[in-house]
Amino acid sequence: MVTSAPAGTNPMPPCLVCNAPWPALVAACLSLGGCMVGPHYTPPNSNMPPRYGERADSAATVAENMDSEECAWWHRFGDEELASLVERAIATNNSLKAAEARVRQARSAREVARSLLYPRIGVGASALRFRGSESAIGLPDADLEGSFFQIGFDAEWTIDLFGGTRRLVESTRAQEQVAESRRRGVVLMIAAETARAYMELRGAQRQLEVALATLSDQRETLRVTEDRHSNGLASNLEVVRARTEVERTAAEIPPIEQAIRQYIHILSTLMALEPTALSDELVSPSILPVVPDRIAVGVPSDLLRRRPDIQAAERHIASATAMIGVATAQLFPQLILGASGGFSSRRSGDLFNGNSATSPSTYYLAGPAINWTLFDAGRRRATIRISEAEVDAARALYEDTVLAAFREVESALVAVDRDRARVTDLERLSASAREVMTIAQGDYRNGLLDQLTVLDAQRQASRADMLLVQGQVALMVSVVRLYKALGGGWEFAEPVPPHPSAWAGSDASVSAKENP
């Protein structure tokens, strides 16, 4: 708002402004501009063990620098379709778009906070028509009617003497980093969910192939049994029993087909498409992805810089710590430098006409102001305690996040190791069951074996194949969970964030960078 002197009055003499003592006072106050109240941020100390306890050095994993992973983890399964789906989901997923919008929101909030370090300058103009009441004023010669024109500027600068605004910038910077870490977490979640759904899809399609193959074998057994019955070599009970096995296997197929459709729907919606959009692309069966032989798990301390949830929790501590300084700065006086000036006149044509008899009145006002709240019934002190409690809560949540991450990795290591061993056993079981079934079917056709033995051999072979597929899918999903627990998943797009200590150094120097 433009503040003006009344029209027709003399402006403040320049000598009064120049000789006033406040410029020296302002210069002295500005020398305090490097002061920042409140605690400086120090990153939390997490006592991480030197290595994982659960077989991190087994044949399945290797404890090495995780940066040796040359590509995003989903490429390590050797399945181009999987890699394409993951990257398409990352590019189009709506949850990620929302997370990116929150990053932009946090970045703009930091820019708003930073703008408070600089002066605010505005301009304004007004044109008024007035008429007064002669009876109310009581002065018959008074100028009761006329116009008033004004144009001018005003400026205001709140000096950040005690660093409250710089602490606010520090806090919003950390919140921007929280939003960015959460965005990376969404990327990791999308990649893992897409990979899991794809692996479950291929597993269901493989189970369908097993069921159809079993159904074909059982129909052949039914045909042989019917031929034997026609020749008086098999009873009617044997025919009914063989037909029952065919019907039982046929009844198992629709749920598998339903699961296939559901996984396609999941993959479609992960890419922000309507549920059946990928049906033509994915309905045809494909081989199962190949699990990598060795996985770089690194060491536990790698989690601090790779897990997005740990990064977000650590940055939240930094933000909350800076807010203590924001609250503490409210205990101290606030220095504001203000100025306004311009031109005003009773006639618009005379605003800038200095030679006119009705020359406009040039006006200006300039000087400092100090605001200092001396009593607020403890409100500011309570605000500081609120901020301190927020820091304590953030540190506790950080420790919980680190422990949960460590637990997830240990559990994933166990799952990968056990699932690998189980798949090896199931492969042997499947091969043996298939061999038994082949022998039994041949002997039955030659009349050397009873029907019950053949049907049982077919059931056992089918069950072994189904268990093998389930075990292979479980192993793939366990590997995905391990990669997710290790914090992988965004390397294809951007570098791994620095260790918290690097961010802490950035926070400590924010005052020097942001002070204009």
CA separation, residue 467 to residues 207, 251, 279, 428 (Å): 9, 18, 26, 12
- Buried-exposed string 289-304: b where 16+ CB fall within 10 A, e elsewhere: bebbeebbbbbbebbb
Give 229's DSSP letter.
Answer: H
Are 327 and 141 a contacting pair, CB within 8 Å? no
Residue 200, SS3 per DSSP: helix
Are 190 and 96 a contacting pair, CB within 8 Å? yes
Are 149 and 162 a contacting pair, CB within 8 Å? no
CA distance 116 to 30: 16
Interhelix angle for 451-486 vs 379-445, to 10°? Answer: 150
Q: Which pLDDT does position 146 carry in this prediction?
A: 77
The residue assigned the tokens 């063990």 is 49
Q: Which pLDDT does position 189 carry in this prediction?
A: 96
Are 468 and 430 a contacting pair, CB within 8 Å? yes
Tell me if 1-31+118-159+334-371 shares its fold with 32-43+67-117+160-282+301-333+372-514: no
Give me the amino acid identity at 479. Answer: V
Q: State the Cα angle at 514 between 513 and 516, rounded to 5°.
A: 105
Q: Which class in CATH covers the domain with range 1-31+118-159+334-371?
A: mainly beta
CA separation, residue 309 to residues 174, 261, 291, 402, 476 (Å): 14, 33, 26, 9, 23
Q: What 3 state SS string does 295-318 have?
A: EECCCHHHHHHHCHHHHHHHHHHH
Neighbouring-strand partners of residue 120: 156
| Whole-number CA gyration radius for the chain | 39
Q: Which pLDDT does position 500 carry in this prediction?
A: 52
Are 54 and 417 a contacting pair, CB within 8 Å? yes
Q: Which pLDDT does position 297 carry in this prediction?
A: 86
CA distance 506 to 307: 20
Residue 243 exposed, middle or buried by CB count within 10 Å (0-12, 13-18, 19+): middle
Give the strand pairing for 295-296 and 61-62.
parallel
516 residues of the chain, pLDDT tens digit each: 444 444 444 444 444 344 445 555 555 555 555 688 999 999 998 788 888 876 555 545 554 554 444 468 999 999 999 999 999 999 999 999 999 999 999 999 999 999 999 999 999 988 888 776 666 555 555 566 778 888 899 999 999 999 999 999 999 999 999 999 999 999 999 999 999 999 999 999 999 999 999 999 999 999 999 998 999 888 999 999 999 999 999 999 999 999 999 999 999 999 999 999 999 999 999 999 999 988 888 888 888 989 999 999 999 999 999 999 999 999 999 999 999 988 887 776 666 665 544 455 788 899 999 999 999 999 999 999 999 999 999 999 999 999 999 999 999 999 999 999 999 999 999 999 999 999 999 998 888 889 899 999 999 999 999 999 999 999 999 999 999 999 974 344 444 455 555 555 555 454 444 544
Q: Which residues 6+ apart lie within 8 Å of 494 measured at CB?
A: none
Q: Long-range contacts for 267-276 (Cβ within 8 Å, ≥24 apart)?
A: 267/85, 267/89, 267/194, 267/197, 267/198, 267/201, 270/89, 270/93, 270/190, 270/193, 270/194, 270/197, 271/85, 271/88, 271/89, 271/92, 271/93, 272/92, 272/93, 272/94, 273/92
Domain boundaries, the chain: 1-31+118-159+334-371, 32-43+67-117+160-282+301-333+372-514
Give 9's DSSP letter.
Answer: P
| Count of beta carbons in the 10 Å neighbourhood of residue 305 | 19
Residue 64, SS3 per DSSP: coil
Of the candidates 342, 359, 337, 338, the residue with the CA atom closest to the CA atom of residue 4: 342
CA distance 263 to 196: 9
CA distance 314 to 321: 11
Of the candidates 183, 188, 190, the residue with the CA atom closest to the CA atom of residue 89: 190
CA separation, residue 499 to residues 43, 117, 394, 397 (Å): 10, 29, 18, 18
Q: Which class in CATH covers the domain with range 32-43+67-117+160-282+301-333+372-514?
A: mainly alpha
Interhelix angle for 236-270 vs 164-230, to 10°? Answer: 160
**HSE value, Cβ hemisphere, 13 Å, CA-based, for 143:** 8
Are 206 and 469 a contacting pair, CB within 8 Å? yes
Tell me the CA end-to-end span of the chain in Å, nearest whole number: 25
Read off the pTM: 0.82
Segments in 231-307 forming alpha helices (H): 236-270, 279-282, 303-306
CA distance 102 to 175: 10
